[in-house]
A and B are shown apart, each in its own frame.
Chain A
Amino acid sequence: EAQVTQNPRYLITVTGKKLTVTCSQNMNHEYMSWYRQDPGLGLRQIYYSMNVEVTDKGDVPEGYKVSRKEKRNFPLILESPSPNQTSLYFCASSGGGAMYYGYTFGSGTRLTVV
């Protein structure tokens, strides 16, 4: 089944403790992206990647890092999480360009930073 898989689904952590949210897609897509969802704000793009070793900032990149060493994987790294990063995170991928095909989204990771 074609899908985007995120792990974990739920995570509670403490301020300052580094964490990684993994994302993997099995569709051989070039484009991958991370979004955060907050009430009333819709989804906002954190980072995106157009291919292996090619990444760029989205609208809200502060406090996040990403890497794209393999085509299928696009982990999101929070080096020193803070409570304002408590949010619902989505990973997404697209094969032919998001403008024409949209994205396929993962099921989400709900992160709470205390």
Chain B
Amino acid sequence: AQSVTQLDSHVSVSEGTPVLLRCNYSSSYSPSLFWYVQHPNKGLQLLLKYTSAATLVKGINGFEAEFKKSETSFHLTKPSAHMSDAAEYFCVVSESNAGNMLTFGGGTRLMVKP
């Protein structure tokens, strides 16, 4: 069975400082991992995905994530936060025997202070 834990429900950073959103997963099979972003009153947008190719994945808007199998982690980072990054972020796992089911973490709300 697959599951995802986002370790922080809220993260607050200052504009221009690095962002780290933490995600740990559990999967019995080779997983695919995703990060989605949800801006207020909007739908979900795919930021990046890992599907068994390169372990360091680059996404849109300067975000990247590193798949670490030994740590079962897929943390999301960005070198310098922008005000427009304020949103809710979801780490998502899908494994090969789960059909097309995506399992979502509980979400991390990122706040960016000026």
Seen from chain A, the residues whose Cβ lies within 8 Å of a Cβ on chain B are 4, 31, 33, 35, 40-45, 48, 50, 56, 58-59, 90, 92, 94, 97-108
Query: Contact between B99 and A50 (Cβ–Cβ < 8 Å)?
Result: yes
**B residues whose Cβ falls under 8 Å from a Cβ of A:** 4, 9, 32, 34, 36, 42-46, 49, 51, 90, 92, 94-96, 98-102, 104-107
Residues of A within 8 A of B102 (CB): 33, 43, 45, 98, 102-103
**Chain B residue nearest in CB terms to A97:** B100
Do the beta carbons of A100 and B51 come within 8 Å of each other? yes
List the B residue with the shortest CB-CB distance to A106.
Answer: B43
* Nearest opposing residue in chain A for B100, CB measure: A98
**A44-B104, A45-B102, A98-B94 are known contacts; what are 9 more A-B pairs with Cβ within 8 Å?**
A4-B43, A42-B105, A94-B100, A98-B100, A99-B96, A99-B98, A99-B100, A106-B43, A107-B43
B89 CB, nearest partner CB in chain A, Å = 11
Q: Could you write out 18 A-B pairs with CB less than 8 Å apart?
A: A4-B43, A31-B100, A33-B100, A33-B102, A35-B104, A42-B105, A42-B106, A42-B107, A48-B99, A48-B101, A92-B44, A97-B100, A99-B95, A100-B51, A102-B34, A103-B46, A104-B46, A105-B36
